[in-house]
Amino acid sequence: MPTELRQIVFENVELRKALAQHFVDQPDRLPPGTIEAVGISQDELEIEVQVAGQPGGAATSTLIPAEHVAAALIAYCRANTIPLPRDAKKFLVVSGDNLALRIVLSGERVIEIIEDTA
């Protein structure tokens, strides 16, 4: 059976926008303010977000788990009519200086190969 493999790459601006939209009503996860920078942790299990609060105030750094970042990107895709197969496996991967959502539809064997080589 054929397997579909897609990768949607989010540039830094799109990633910041997706996070801001997803966490707008969750101040316990992401403090209110403007997201200035986003960085990926060494183990790639968390995203570090720097948020600027009041003008002239210091930026706050917050760690967001990868699964919450993936949820934000999936919500961003839905809001922008980017089709995502519901039954597909979805993974976050680093693509250069950007973050990507890798989508694998069917074919469990291919998923095992991807996980072994990543």
- Residue ranges per domain, the chain? 4-117
pLDDT in tens, 7-38: 999 998 999 999 989 888 777 778 777 888 88
Dihedral, 43, 67, 63, 118 alpha carbons, nearest 10: 20
pTM for the structure as a whole: 0.79
What share of the chain in percent tops pLDDT 70?
A: 86
